[in-house]
Structure 1
Amino acid sequence: MKSEIATIRLNYSQKVLLEDDAEDDPVKQFNKWWQEAVLSEIDEVNAMALATASPDGIPSARIVLLKGFSEKGFMFFTNYESFKAQQLDNNPKACLVFFWKELERQVRITGLVQKATPEESDTYFQSRPEESRIGAVTSPQSRVIESREWIDERYEKNKKRLSGKTIKRPDYWGGYIVRPVIMEFWQGRPGRLHDRIQYTLQNNNEWKIERLAP
């Protein structure tokens, strides 16, 4: 089995990433790659790994969905009482990773985290399908529960109570914004000599662009 795993490999050869082609600002570079990814019709193009850590450095990672980005940062939403939220409250730093295998690309974003404004969270919450809003009210995310039946019964009770009504965003649910300080763009190349361009935020708020060894 180990030998079979070791033989799995793909020779990347679609595109290149050169310094002359990179934008001066990493968010603009991300937008360029984002538009190409969207046009490529990648399934769940906004899926990203979110890595957090406890104050003593124990890491945790999971997949979440990007719900917006701008010069302010990269936004996602969750339950503020969840495990990841607890880690972010105690250690407000995170890393995001996008992997668009169809384009042989990765983007890694390391940054500082802050909560979205209540208005931003309200706006997104009300844009969600009704079943998702009821789900947010229903689930005590990351807590141990007694059974699947327990959460299903709780959901059905809330569905009867809230269906067709204006569902207010719970105070324990909202957004986070990851404000980047380092962003790396990875383009697969033949022979594992991949292109890696890294942007690092400087004290004067300008970005330093460097090539990393593959």
Structure 2
Amino acid sequence: TTIGGTTSPNPGTYTYTAGSMVQVTAIPYTNYKFDYWELDGANVGSTNPYTVLMDKNHMLKAVFSAIPPLTVSINPLSASIRVGQSVTFTSTVSGGYPPYSYQWFLNGNPVSGATSNTWTFTPTTSGIFYIHLKVTDDKGNTAQSDAARIVVSTVPVGGYSIPMQAPTKTEPILPYIAVITTLTITITKIRNKTKRRR
């Protein structure tokens, strides 16, 4: 085997009857994963366990690779919004052992029901809020993102306003002929692996 795991039967030299079938299982160590088999120097795939037909002398090697540590990041890490507005957070997870589980936190407290890889924050009060995400992989390893800082301000006094334009005054039609001219304006808008033989 190469570094990162072992096999069953253990690495070593064994004698078998010609024509027999020998089954070998790859067993990765913690933080490693089994990648593939090499039979007599050739890659023969990742089926595990693997069965060897003893039609001649063979050398079987299990190849393992290190699993990167679990990491998580969120986006955005800062925003300024008003009460009643929303900001949606997304996450990026790598390493560890999928599948992952998620838990969002608001000011250090877990948010009920916020257990997916995205979360939308809609504040009802003003203030400064801190949001982070905790991820757990299939082996129980955990990782925590940096905290996002969200500044929430109150709605202006009187609420939001919509500018209104006064209606145009209509002049009475006078009994004379006016000369009318028109102007038309056009606006145009642009992975390292290390191996050890068993």
Output the TM-score relative to the length of structure 2.
Answer: 0.26
Q: Which structure shows the higher strand fraction? A: 2
Q: Which has the higher contact order (CA 8 A, sep 6+)?
A: 1
Output the TM-score relative to the length of structure 1.
Answer: 0.24
Structure number, greater radius of gyration: 2
Q: Which structure shows the higher helix fraction? A: 1
